[in-house]
Amino acid sequence: MAKKPSGRARAANDIAEGLNSLIGDGLEQLRAQNPNIGFTLIADSDKPRKAANTHGGSYVCTDRELLANIWRFDFNKRERAVLDIMTAEVDEEGQWRGKQADLAKVLQCSQGSVSKAISTLEATHFVWKVIRCLYQVNPDWAFGWGTDSHTKSIASIGVATMDMKRIKIPYESTRKAA
C-alpha cells in the first residue's frame, strides 16, 4: 500500500498545482527569464529540501508566506511595480543598482512618485537603501527560501541586520471594523 504524503506535502502540492493551472505557461516564461526571482519559485514543488536554520525554533517558508499575504500590505500599483522591477533585476547578492529617475522613465511617472513608493517599501522592509543608487531587496522576498542565493545574501548582509529588517505581515491592520 502506497504511503500518503503528509498534510504539509499535500498542501504544497495543491498550491503548486493551483498556481500552475492559474498561471499556465506564464510561470515557465518568468522562470526562464529570471531563475532567481522569488515568486517564480513558489510553485516549484521539486525544490530541494534543506535543514531549516531558524532563530525562533519554528519553521516558516517565508517566500510562500509573504506571497500569500502580499495583499495585506495594501501597496498601490506604483509601489508594487517598483517592488516587482527591483526584484526582477537583482544581482546574486539581492541588490538592485539604478536611479529613481530611470525607474520613473520605465513606469512613466515622476521621480517623486518613485521616491514615495521606495519610502513605503523601506518602511515595510522589502527594500532598503545601501548607498546612492544601490538598494538591497530583502532576501526573504527576492529569493526562494533556503536557496543558495537566499543563504549567501543573508550571510553577506549579516544576521543582526536581517533581524532588524524582518518583514512583518500586518495581520491586524487588515481587519475592517464592524
Q: What is the pLDDT of residues 54-93, one digit of tens each?
A: 444 444 556 677 888 888 888 899 999 999 899 888 888 8
Confidence band of 135 (pLDDT split at 50, 70, 90):
very high
Asked if residue 108 belongs to a domain, the reply is yes
- Partnered with residue 9 across adjacent β-strands are none
Give whichever of 12-26, 32-46, 111-125 has the largest mean pLDDT: 111-125
Tally of domains within the chain: 1
Asked if residue 144 belongs to a domain, the reply is yes
Asked if residue 177 belongs to a domain, the reply is no
Q: What is the pTM of this model?
A: 0.61
Q: What is the mean pLDDT of the chain?
A: 75
Dihedral sign for Cα 166, 91, 22, 10, please. negative
Asked if residue 78 belongs to a domain, the reply is yes
Asked if residue 50 belongs to a domain, the reply is no
* Other Cβ atoms within 10 Å of 20 Cβ, number: 16
For position 100, what pLDDT does the model report? 92
* Residue 127's CATH number: 1.10.10.10
Asked if residue 49 belongs to a domain, the reply is no
> What range defines the domain where residue 87 resides?
8-44+59-170
* Other Cβ atoms within 10 Å of 127 Cβ, number: 25
Asked if residue 53 belongs to a domain, the reply is no
Q: What is the pLDDT of residues 103-116, one digit of tens each?
A: 999 999 999 999 99
Could you give the CA distance from residue 130 to residue 69 in angstroms, rounded to a whole number? Answer: 26
